[in-house]
Structure 1
């Protein structure tokens, strides 16, 4: 029988119902026509992007009470990714400044990892440390969200790519994500070389195309004055270059 993966972290209530382990609000934000290109999930064929219907990305992983308790994370993530997608595809309708709670985004990325791990197998043991962070415990110094500075041109495509970062022992050390073409790293440990992973808890993301500037401000308890800047250079209808070497199929 499926059990809520937050069992023991507050009382469970209600049934274990099918929920989107990648939040519906995020999928709606980056999906087109009710589907989204997804890659890197544990059950997918290697090196494959699949166009998957949003309604198919569900699993029984949380009870109704815990799912409702984490809904603020879903709302924050939806707000972030709607803004990123809108800056690229609907700039005239996107507000010049979008503010999002950075702590909620960190916890949403962690919720994503826990949900995918629980969806893989009901026997998967999610470390208690991570469950405590998910439910609001303070993150250790150096842990959390890193956003890489663009080292090469990015294509802001309708996509969701996920990669778990495991130590040789199998211990989870972080996750790498690419959502709507923007890269994120969530580190579950203090890195030896932080700059290799990007800017830790940046002040925000700035998108500039010469005629406008759109800002997504991430709100943190301790303000970081540095931001990651993206400059638009053009548009294309070609296959996104980051999919090079990947098959594209329908699930």
Structure 2
């Protein structure tokens, strides 16, 4: 089993009986070994060694009053601006790399949108030591978003034509533990920046038993997640609710003022970081997702794989029911039309600015 410290991309993937690279093919990580002798497990899920902690040196013993990880007593004396949604990711959402459209933030009235600079979505809330340690996660999240968006565009570019045989199979491999940590970082940072509301006022606390000291140990020091905490994908979704590919959406799951977890929608697919088992059907720490579209040959698929240190994680098969002859961006029924261009109540949405596309 090998370490996976970056997002691996292979496109195109040769057509075989497998969703992604075949066991005897070269591992897409570039190790020179076959996939089966590298990152592909015996159950055909993808595996990688548990990543090292973001901070491994001796603790500083200092708690910076302005750093939200101060409970760890491992701070530096400087205080820096932190983007709860990674700045590289925001630049990828933006058409010009400079500005994005924000809707639903706690500081905005109603559902109004506001164009802001990428640097505006940051707060002085982390010491330099903790902020710098998050850089690898931010790079991984930005690359993951770009590849997810590319796959989404591929899936729906064959609108009303007959180029289906030319469909490009794609494969993306990312460390599951790294992705899980970035989702935690995004939700926690959004709460600390007072960007999200719960019960009509800015969210400020997690449920009983979820301490900032424990979260800091998980995020920066590689501590184990408690049982049933971590990344989920819910099984059932309301398909009439619009999902914008070139966007990130955050929303909280709460009980009164207490935050139970948070959702992060990236390029149209929603992930949940939860601090307890969700009471609805779900996939816990999935092995990945296959993406297909009705009307296309079975080999026409995209695979996003999460590499975990152990086997036994579920693979999710996602099939769009929009046939090639229909425009997926057009609402399919009156209820969906009523939600079109609307945001979910309580959600923070960051999208590209309309009318700024350079082509």
TM range (shorter): 0.7 to 0.9
**2:96 maps to what in 1?**
33
How has the CA–CA distance of structure 1 residues 194 and 236 changed in structure 2, closer, same or farther, with 3 Å as cutoff? closer
Instruction: Give how far 1:18 is off.
Output: 2.1
CA deviation profile, 1:139-170 (whole Å, cap 9, x unmatched):
122211111345526644322221122222x2
**1:61 maps to what in 2?**
125
**1:157 maps to what in 2?**
245
Alignment of 1:36-185 (within 5 A): 36-89=100-153, 96-120=170-194, 127=211, 128-135=213-220, 136-149=222-235, 150-152=237-239, 155-168=243-256, 170-185=257-272
1:105 alignment partner, SS class: helix
How far apart are the structure 2 equivalents of 1:181 and 1:242?
14
Given the alignment, which residue of 279, 291, 300 partners 1:207? 291
> With structure 1 as the length reference, what TM-score do the two structures score?
0.80
**Would the aligned equivalents of 1:88 and 1:156 in 2 still touch at CA under 8 Å?**
no
**Would the aligned equivalents of 1:79 and 1:100 in 2 still touch at CA under 8 Å?**
no
2:70 alignment partner, SS class: coil
**Would the aligned equivalents of 1:146 and 1:186 in 2 still touch at CA under 8 Å?**
yes
How far apart are the structure 2 equivalents of 1:246 and 1:106?
23
**Would the aligned equivalents of 1:146 and 1:202 in 2 still touch at CA under 8 Å?**
yes
How far apart are the structure 1 equivalents of 2:171 and 2:66?
40
Structure with greater helix share of residues: 1
- Kindly tell me the number of residue pairs found equivalent between the two proteins: 244
Instruction: Give how far 1:241 is off.
Output: 4.6
**2:78 maps to what in 1?**
15
How far apart are the structure 1 equivalents of 2:170 and 2:108?
37
> With structure 2 as the length reference, what TM-score do the two structures score?
0.58
**Would the aligned equivalents of 2:254 and 2:261 in 1 still touch at CA under 8 Å?**
yes
1:236 to 2:329 alignment: yes
1:217 alignment partner, SS class: strand
**Higher mean displacement: 52-61 or 27-36:** 27-36
**Higher mean displacement: 50-59 or 171-180:** 50-59
Instruction: Give how far 1:100 is off.
Output: 0.8
How far apart are the structure 2 equivalents of 1:163 and 1:13?
31
- Asked which structure has the greater CA Rg, the reply is 2
How has the CA–CA distance of structure 1 residues 20 and 5 changed in structure 2, closer, same or farther, with 3 Å as cutoff? same
Structure 1 stretches lacking a partner, 5+ long: none
Instruction: Give how far 1:56 is off.
Output: 1.8
Structure 2 stretches lacking a partner, 5+ long: 1-63, 158-166, 196-203, 332-336, 354-359
1:219 to 2:307 alignment: yes
**Would the aligned equivalents of 1:167 and 1:173 in 2 still touch at CA under 8 Å?**
yes
**2:68 maps to what in 1?**
5
